[in-house]
Structure 1
Amino acid sequence: MKYSANRPVFIFVSKLTFFFLFLGCGQETVNHEKSGVAISFDDRFINEWYALRPLFQKYNAKVTFFVTCSDSLSAEEISKLKQLERDGHEIGFHGTIHGKSTELIKALGPEKYAATEIYPGKDAMKKAGFYPKSYAHPGGNHNDQVDSVLFANGFEILRDVAISRRKIYGIPVYTIAPRVMDWIFYGFKKEKLVDALLIDTDSGITEREINDAIEKAKNTGSALMLFGHEPLYGSPNNGEYGFKVAFLEKILKEANRKNLKFYTMSELPEN
Structure 2
Amino acid sequence: MKYSTVRPTFRPGIAIAFLLLIIFMSACSNTAENNQKAGIAISFDDHFINDWYALRPLFRKYNAKVTFFITCGDTLTADEIAKLKQLESDGHEIGFHGTVHGKATETIAALGPAKYAETELTPGLHYMKLAGFVPESYAHPGGDHNDQVDSVLLASGFKILRDVAISRRRMFGVQLYALAPRLMSHIFYPFDKEKIVDALLIDTDAGLTIGEMQDAIGKAKETGTALMLFGHQPLHVAPENGAYGFNVAFLEQVLKEAQRQKLRFYTMAELPKN
**Identical pairs, percent:** 67
User: In structure 2, do the counterparts of structure 1 residues 27 and 201 end up closer, same or farther at CA, with 3 Å as the change threshold?
Assistant: same
| 1:1-271 correspondence to structure 2 within 5 Å | 29-30=30-31, 31-271=34-274
Give, in angstroms, the shift of residue 152 of structure 1.
0.8
C-alpha distance in 2 between matches for 1:225 and 1:89: 15
Partners of 1:62 and 1:268 lie apart in 2 by 13
Return the alpha-carbon distance in structure 1 between the equivalents of residues 41 and 224 of structure 2. Answer: 13
Partner residue, 1:8 = none
2: distance between equivalents of 1:25 and 1:174? Answer: 43
Aligned AA (1:151): L
Instruction: Count residues in correspondence.
Output: 258
Amino acid at match of 1:249: E
Please, what TM-score do these two structures have when normalized by structure 2?
Answer: 0.90
- 1:146 to partner: Cα distance: 0.2
Structure 1 consecutive aligned stretches of length 4 or more whose deviation exceeds 3 Å? 17-29
Where does the alignment leave 5 or more consecutive residues of structure 1 unmatched?
1-12
Deviates more, 1:166-175 or 1:148-157: 166-175
CA distance in 2, matches of 1:225, 1:19: 38
- Partner of 1:142, secondary structure, is coil
In structure 2, what residue type is equivalent to 1:111? A
Aligned mates of 2:183, 2:18 — CA distance in 1: 32
User: Taking structure 1 as reference, are residues 169 and 41 closer, same or farther at Cα in structure 2, changes over 3 Å only?
Assistant: same
Give a deviation string over 1:54-105, Cα, whole Å, max 9, x none.
0000001000000000111111111100000000000000000000000000
Distance of aligned partners of 1:62 and 1:26 in 2 relative to their CA distance in 1, 3 Å threshold: closer
Distance 2:165 2:158 in 1: 20
Distance 1:19 1:203, change over 3 A: farther
Letter matched to residue 42 of structure 1? D
Specify the SS of the correspondent of 2:145. coil
When residues 179 and 111 of structure 1 are mapped into structure 2, their CA distance, relative to the original with a 3 A threshold, is: same
CA-to-partner distance for each residue in 1:5-53, whole Å, 9 max, x for gaps? xxxxxxxx99xx8998799699793310001000000000000000000
Task: Report the AA paired with residue 191 of structure 2.
Answer: F
Q: Which amino acid aligns with 1:75?
A: A
Please provide the CA RMSD for this pair: 2.0
Matched position secondary structure for 2:230: strand
Runs of 5+ consecutive residues of structure 2 not aligned to the other structure? 1-12
Cα distance in structure 2, aligned partners of 1:101 and 1:197: 20
d(CA) in 2 for partners of 1:47, 1:92? 16
Structure 2: which amino acid aligns with 1:50? Y
Secondary structure of the 1:226 match is strand
Give, as a single letter, the amino acid of the residue that structure 1 aligns with 2:139: A
